[in-house]
Structures are given as C-alpha cells and as structure tokens.
A and B are shown apart, each in its own frame.
Chain A
C-alpha cells in the first residue's frame, strides 16, 4: 500500500491558519488523498479529499502539489476545538484505507 508521512506534532495559535503537511511520494495515479481527524477517543471524522485539484469545503482546504507527491491541509482559522490527531491517507482502488500515525495538532489560546 502506498504510504504517507506526516510530522508527529504541530502547534498553532488560536485564530491563525493551521497548515498540516503530508508526503505521499509513491502515490498512484488513481489514488485519492483523504484527510480525517480524531478528537480524543472518538471515531475518525472525514474532513476533505482530492485527486489532483485543490479542494475547499466548510471545514478546510486541501492543496495538492502538481506532481501529487505531497499535500497540505489548511484550517483557515483554527479554534481550540480543532485540537486533534489529523490523518492523511490514500484510498486504493482495492478499497483499503491504511492510517499512519498522523499529526497531533494542538491549538493554543
């Protein structure tokens, strides 16, 4: 399975943009990049996904580089409730979604 690499932790000031990077240098042409987050011990929550174009929804924006080897999740105005573990994963044609260790984002007042 194609793998992703994320920094283990990041801090962000409340009200500022949080930019979470993800490397996926072995991504295949038909694999989508998905982002999820997990707050405390709740089930992971879907945030956004994309193939090659940048995407935006009510929660976040996703920037995918032209070569698709990396992406960045942007939370435009982070709040304390955005403190969570953020996972970047690839969705294979076979349907498997393999989660890595994710990035623990801490939003500070």
Chain B
C-alpha cells in the first residue's frame, strides 16, 4: 500500500498566483481530510469529505480556498489568489470511515507564497 500521496512536495509561488495541491487517498478509504500546519496556529482542520461529499468546511479560512473531491481517489485544495500568509505545510489524511477510525497522513506539501 503506497499510503496517502500528496503532490507537489514543495511549492513556491508569488502572491496572487493560483495554487493547486493534490491528494490521492488510500484505496478503499471513504473519508478525506485537509489540514494546514503553521508555527503560530499548529495543525488546523480545513475541510473533510465523506464518500466524496464535503461534510464540514468550517475550517476553510476564506473564499480564496476551495476543495474538491471529484472521485474516491483524488482531491484538490485550491488557493486563488494566494497570499504570503497562506505559507504553511498542507497535509492530506484519509481514513476508512469518518468516525472512530485512525487517520493516515500524507507527507505534506510545503507551500511558500512570496
């Protein structure tokens, strides 16, 4: 099992540009989570999906952020336009079910917005 796969590992972009982060969950997992980690705020849950449907997006900072899960094997987190304060490590995690199952995290995407 390859685990949760995120791409790219590192992304450097300029303020105002669109950024798309990608995630492939573990096959057979029904739930997918996007987290953001910064020194100031720690690990924050942005949004999570169950069976490809967004369940809770209350952690999404603002309208510049959007997430999609078009099928069970792929999800994207898009920031448009990006700002320097979006610089962080973005983690994707999946679990077999939404409740009471352990999370499997990817290696993260280190995003730097200049």
Is B56 among interface residues, defined by CB-CB distance under 8 A?
yes
Secondary structure type dominating chain A contacts = loop
Asked if B34 CB lies within 8 Å of chain A CBs, one says: no
Q: Which of the residues B43, B48, B50 comes within 8 Å of A44, measured between beta carbons?
A: B43
Number of interface residues of A (CB under 8 A): 23
Say yes or no for A55: interface residue by CB 8 A criterion. no
Q: Which of A36, A43, A46, A98 contacts B45 (CB 8 A)?
A: A98
Tally of chain B residues near chain A (CB < 8 A): 27
Q: Report how many A-B pairs have Cβ atoms within 8 Å.
A: 58
Verify A43–B93 contact, CB threshold 8 A: yes
Task: Please list the residues of chain A having a beta carbon within 8 angstroms of any beta carbon in chain B.
Answer: 32, 34, 36, 41-46, 49, 87, 91-102
- 18 A–B pairs (Cβ distance < 8 Å), ordered by A: A34-B102, A41-B89, A41-B110, A42-B107, A43-B108, A44-B43, A87-B43, A92-B99, A94-B56, A94-B98, A95-B50, A95-B56, A95-B98, A95-B99, A96-B48, A96-B56, A97-B33, A100-B42
